[in-house]
Structure 1
Amino acid sequence: MTDRGHRRIGRPLIATTAIALLTGTAAYTFGPDARAEQGARGSAAAAKTTAKTGGRTGGKATQARSSAAASCPTSARFPKRQLRGVWIATVRNLDWPSRPGLSRDRQRAEYLRILDNAVKRRLNAVFVQVRPASDALYRSSLEPWSQWLTGTAGRDPGWDPLPFLVEEAHKRGLEFHAWFNPYRAAESAASELPPGHPARSHPDWTVKHEGGLYYNPGLPQVRDWVTRVVTDVVRRYDVDGVHFDDYFYPYPGKGTRFADQAAFKKYGNGMKLADWRRDNVNKLVGQVSAAVREAKPYVKFGISPFGIWRNKKEDPSGSNTSGMSAYDSIYADAKAWIKARSVDYVMPQLYWPRGFSAAAYEELLPWWAGAVKGTGVDLYIGQALYRVGSADTPAWRKAGELPSHLTLNRKYPEVGGDVYFSARYLVSNPLSVLDRIVSQHYQRPALLPLPERFEAKPPAAPRGVRHANGTLSWEARPDARAYAVYRAPAGKTGGAAAAASSACVTADARNLVAIVPASDAPSYAAGGSGAYYVTTLDRLGNESTPAPAR
């Protein structure tokens, strides 16, 4: 999902028929790491849904309602909490802005078009690339303005886009995750770095490798710098999450050794080179995680690793695949992050179709579900929207392939949602695949997942809920991020079982008709018959008890 990310899937599988998987251009283009550019839930689910709906703490009434909800029939077709996101890549103007040098108004209009398409498809999160390569799509005293805004690195675009990007996402009920590439120092080693660029001030931090310029992951100074950059954004902007893609050590290319011998000699402490490199990445992940949680405990931190951790032939605990291994090739050990709980979620980039011999979706999905099971780390799946309709792979020429992935996801309660690469395809809707996904999987809105480490303290329920003249209204609450509106069919509520009944109305999403951002007027055009309920959602995702309309 990085700029290059989504293109990656190609090279990693080159040794195994992966060449049929992707076609080639620069690995940069396709985002969260597919190397695409290069051409590369049942009863268990219901139990998980109930456990994450809020109401896990509180008084006897709340506990009674939770107990009632636990016995309510639910459907995996209507998950109440599900991440539905899209990556918005800025590198090389892949998604936004469409080209450098656009006016502020044009940049804003293009971004709003993406957001409006996300809302149209009932998505609830955006992952926006704010630091493609030690640059900034926001006003920073640490790193220069990105060339993708103005065409020249370091040139001020005349406005700070990030407050606008965040605010407009929130207005539409979309969670905003700031996406960083931690180690890329410049797109090219030949790039002219602007004055004040960290790599210009500290050339000893960098390694030139196969035409690229990278920060050396083995240096403590580099880890401190990346942590400082991320924390600066978290403290100054109202972001909901921090996101890393799969770019850690460089992907295998021409076989050139990454020139980190001096750092290894100084900091290796007797470790094997591969173990030391993985330890460097693990240290960065842990350091960033701790800094983010200290700065703003409610901000989520997650990573979208390459889809194959290790193959079984390399490790008995690996997946039944034969592609490139992230553990061995780019020194990214997602299982270590999960074990340490230094991430709130992992989002493996599973950009292969079902039946693909080197890395089949139906093989990797259960492997990742097993990797997070019982750990408290959430699992979302990176989906290859960019591959739909591509001519090189027969499976992707079928509009039903991507929706079938979501159908398969329902069998694994550990799967908490999907994120699509990337926004340009969200707009173009190849093979009308998004129409299928919405009609088959996103028929209702969904609340955002609630990470296990978050405090489960439900906010106060809305007051003054009224249904009159086709309009549902209520009093705004100062602690609300949004409100969820439910409609129970006529005859499904009331009587002696009213409390249990209202709990069942909100047990899954089948009765969820709208999520109203707190920035909107506290009202909803309630045209259907039946009983209406409104709940409060705080910024963590906690949900109040339902307040019935009078």
Structure 2
Amino acid sequence: MAHHRRPASTTRAAVACTALTTALTASLVHAPPAAAAEDSRRAPGVCETSAQTPPKRQMRGEWIAGVHNIDWPSRQGMTAQEQRDELTGLYDQARAHGLNAVFVQIRPTADAFWPSPHEPWSRWLTGEQGGDPGYDPLEFAVEQAHARNLEFHGWFNPYRVALHDDPGRLAADHPARRNPDWVFEYGGRLYYDPGVPEARAFVIEAMMHAVDNYDLDGVHFDDYFYPYPVSGVPVPDQDTFAEHGGGFEDIADWRRRNVDLLVEGMSRAVHEAKPHVRFGVSPFGIWRNSGSDPEGSATRGFESYDRIYADSRRWVRQGWLDYVNPQVYWEIGLDVADYAELVGWWERVTAGTGTHLYIGQAAYKVGNEGAWSDPGELSAHLDLNRDHPGVDGDVFFSATSLRTNAAEAMEIVVEEHYGHPALMPLDEDLGGAAPAPPVAEGAARADGNVLIPVGPGKDASGLPAPASYAVYAFEGDLDPREDPCLLEDPRSIAATVRADAYGRAAVTVPDSGERTYYVTALDRFHRESAPSAPVRPPRAES
């Protein structure tokens, strides 16, 4: 059955209520003594908010592109060890930037970054399609992301076969060569035809092999379904329409339905296989302009609904997506496509659906003329997002830009927005129970750090196993077991860490003096437990 999400009008309200923070926690660690008296006047069960309190739960991601060797691997001919070193360097950079997720392209051109029984090794790994890289890049990529408590979203391009138009250049056993009736050439490139049912079923099967066999946290599509149009050149699918378009008078409606079937089918397959894996799409930032459709945005740009047959608004409204990540790659105030207008439009689209909204950020544009010459443009986007409670985070394109042209811009983002860790947005629709409060004991000091061993709670029967942990640090007598609102300010989070297969972890946090630590456990759906008993390392030697 299709994965239909429960309307979230009540659950979003519950999340907003939980996220409210007290006046005390607005300045948490450095609060003056008077804050305690102010807190005592708070109404029971209500956590007051503050304009200075950052979101506790927020997607903070980056795309790591493989096609054209944009990010990883950054060039062909690298050794396996060079590839591994490069990827871990990108991951370390992501952590330093305060990010908590990576969207890694693992199927760029109908080929694979893992040993797939369906498709050849990707040419972007070795320079030769079908060339064995000497290790399993996907296994390594997932393992190393989780070692840094970065969520790993596998990024797939469904239909793109090649960036050239010669089937003879594909690997000898490539499915596109074995099934030429699945393929059309357009604009000098090869694509699987979305209107061929067998091709659609095959690409879902090929992608699901990665879902079934690797510990992915998410499955991610970009904006490529039908190809972007070439002026004056029609898509060559008239014969496919004649064969498979029964019931449709308009070929454009039929094409949109073909894309709908892929999105719905992939959503169903992912959620039936692994309910904790989230499925999302990063569509072009404009669905339709209001000049074409009163439901569209007040923009005048390229319309993905009409030009590439992507009815992204429908996917959200039908409940097929866990998140939508529109590529809002324009600056604030741009006349034809204003960032501010589009963020508000997408917020209205997702309202009440339970689908999380992440905004795609154009880090690659930083340094361009105009608004993008200001390194503060990206941070201004995040400032604006704070005024839209329906925005659940951001994803930056792409990793290389964040350490080259957008390096200064990202420093500003970190300083103004990402100075403290953030937990992943919670999907209230999935229900269930949080893990038991974890056991944290035996804290020690070493080399300027506090080391805290953590494990599953002792009374965990029937509850989810911990997938990760969050460590909170407090000064004085603040106790989140007595005042749960203390946990709602992320500025008290000292660290997050992924649990091992047995639900254990060794947490390392910077030693910041005589503080008391509390640890919470989170499951794969990001439900958070009550805090552990207090953890106090031995007093530092004077």
Per the normalisation by structure 1, the TM-score is 0.85
Matched position secondary structure for 2:429: coil
Letter in 2 for 1:276: W
Instruction: Report what 1:509 is aligned to.
Output: 490
> Contact 1:134/1:143 (CA < 8 Å) preserved in 2?
yes
Between 232-241 and 253-262, the greater mean CA deviation after superposition? 253-262
Instruction: Report what 1:290 is aligned to.
Output: 268
In the aligned structure 2, how far is the partner of 1:222 from the partner of 1:319?
Answer: 33
In the aligned structure 1, how far is the partner of 2:508 from the partner of 2:77?
Answer: 40
- State the Cα distance separating 1:548 from its structure 2 match: 3.4
Specify which of 200, 222, 226 is matched with residue 199 of structure 2. 222
Say yes or no: does 1:93 pair with 2:91: no
Specify which of 324, 340, 347 is matched with residue 318 of structure 2. 340
Say yes or no: does 1:194 pair with 2:171: yes
In the aligned structure 2, how far is the partner of 1:398 from the partner of 1:260?
Answer: 44
Report matched runs for 1:429-448 at 5 Å: 430=406, 432-448=408-424
Instruction: Report what 2:224 is aligned to.
Output: 247
The number of aligned residues is 487
Judged with a 3 Å threshold, the aligned counterparts in structure 2 of structure 1 residues 455 and 196 are, in CA distance, closer, same or farther, namely: farther
Say yes or no: does 1:213 pair with 2:198: no
Matched position secondary structure for 1:263: helix
The CA deviation string for residues 106-128 of structure 1, in whole angstroms up to 9 with x for no partner, is 00011011000000001000000
Report matched runs for 1:347-496 at 5 Å: 347-390=325-368, 393-428=369-404, 430=406, 432-465=408-441, 471=450, 473-477=452-456, 479-493=465-479
| CA RMSD of superposed structures (Å) | 2.1
- State the Cα distance separating 1:47 from its structure 2 match: 5.6
Judged with a 3 Å threshold, the aligned counterparts in structure 2 of structure 1 residues 426 and 46 are, in CA distance, closer, same or farther, namely: farther
Between 117-126 and 182-191, the greater mean CA deviation after superposition? 182-191
Say yes or no: does 1:154 pair with 2:154: no
Judged with a 3 Å threshold, the aligned counterparts in structure 2 of structure 1 residues 76 and 127 are, in CA distance, closer, same or farther, namely: farther
Between 473-482 and 196-205, the greater mean CA deviation after superposition? 473-482
Judged with a 3 Å threshold, the aligned counterparts in structure 2 of structure 1 residues 82 and 209 are, in CA distance, closer, same or farther, namely: same
In the aligned structure 2, how far is the partner of 1:199 from the partner of 1:176?
Answer: 28
In the aligned structure 2, how far is the partner of 1:153 from the partner of 1:468?
Answer: 51
Per the normalisation by structure 2, the TM-score is 0.86
Report matched runs for 1:33-72 at 5 Å: 48-51=15-18, 70-72=46-48
Letter in 1 for 2:518: Y
Report matched runs for 1:296-335 at 5 Å: 296-335=274-313
In the aligned structure 2, how far is the partner of 1:327 from the partner of 1:464?
Answer: 52
- State the Cα distance separating 1:220 from its structure 2 match: 0.8
Judged with a 3 Å threshold, the aligned counterparts in structure 2 of structure 1 residues 48 and 139 are, in CA distance, closer, same or farther, namely: same
Specify which of 112, 125, 130 is matched with residue 136 of structure 1. 112
> Contact 1:465/1:547 (CA < 8 Å) preserved in 2?
no
> Contact 1:474/1:522 (CA < 8 Å) preserved in 2?
yes
> Contact 2:100/2:422 (CA < 8 Å) preserved in 1?
yes
Matched position secondary structure for 1:250: coil
Matched position secondary structure for 2:420: coil
Say yes or no: does 1:111 pair with 2:87: yes
Say yes or no: does 1:527 pair with 2:504: no
In the aligned structure 1, how far is the partner of 2:496 from the partner of 2:44?
Answer: 23
In the aligned structure 2, how far is the partner of 1:275 from the partner of 1:260?
Answer: 13
- State the Cα distance separating 1:52 from its structure 2 match: 7.9
Matched position secondary structure for 1:108: helix
Letter in 1 for 2:342: L
Letter in 2 for 1:515: T
In the aligned structure 1, how far is the partner of 2:212 from the partner of 2:529?
Answer: 28
Matched position secondary structure for 1:287: helix
Letter in 2 for 1:483: Y
The CA deviation string for residues 483-539 of structure 1, in whole angstroms up to 9 with x for no partner, is 11112342444xxxx7442x0111131211211232552454442344321101122
> Contact 1:346/1:377 (CA < 8 Å) preserved in 2?
yes
> Contact 2:440/2:533 (CA < 8 Å) preserved in 1?
no
In the aligned structure 1, how far is the partner of 2:363 from the partner of 2:13?
Answer: 28
Between 282-291 and 452-461, the greater mean CA deviation after superposition? 452-461
Matched position secondary structure for 2:161: strand
Judged with a 3 Å threshold, the aligned counterparts in structure 2 of structure 1 residues 521 and 531 are, in CA distance, closer, same or farther, namely: closer
Matched position secondary structure for 1:99: coil
Letter in 2 for 1:516: V
Judged with a 3 Å threshold, the aligned counterparts in structure 2 of structure 1 residues 68 and 108 are, in CA distance, closer, same or farther, namely: farther
Instruction: Report what 1:59 is aligned to.
Output: none
In the aligned structure 2, how far is the partner of 1:346 from the partner of 1:171?
Answer: 26
Matched position secondary structure for 1:415: coil
- State the Cα distance separating 1:266 from its structure 2 match: 1.9
Judged with a 3 Å threshold, the aligned counterparts in structure 2 of structure 1 residues 52 and 452 are, in CA distance, closer, same or farther, namely: farther
- State the Cα distance separating 1:406 from its structure 2 match: 0.2
The CA deviation string for residues 46-75 of structure 1, in whole angstroms up to 9 with x for no partner, is 96355589xxxxxxxxxxxxx966434455
- State the Cα distance separating 1:189 from its structure 2 match: 1.0
Between 440-449 and 422-431, the greater mean CA deviation after superposition? 422-431
Matched position secondary structure for 1:228: helix
Matched position secondary structure for 1:282: helix
> Contact 2:439/2:533 (CA < 8 Å) preserved in 1?
no
Judged with a 3 Å threshold, the aligned counterparts in structure 2 of structure 1 residues 230 and 534 are, in CA distance, closer, same or farther, namely: same
The CA deviation string for residues 193-219 of structure 1, in whole angstroms up to 9 with x for no partner, is 111101000000011112111111111
- State the Cα distance separating 1:156 from its structure 2 match: 1.3
Judged with a 3 Å threshold, the aligned counterparts in structure 2 of structure 1 residues 534 and 280 are, in CA distance, closer, same or farther, namely: same
Instruction: Report what 2:528 is aligned to.
Output: 543
In the aligned structure 1, how far is the partner of 2:482 from the partner of 2:475?
Answer: 15
> Contact 1:369/1:414 (CA < 8 Å) preserved in 2?
yes
> Contact 1:74/1:508 (CA < 8 Å) preserved in 2?
no
The answer for unaligned runs of 5 or more in structure 1 is 1-43, 54-66
Q: Percent identity?
A: 47
The answer for unaligned runs of 5 or more in structure 2 is 1-10, 21-42, 458-464, 536-542
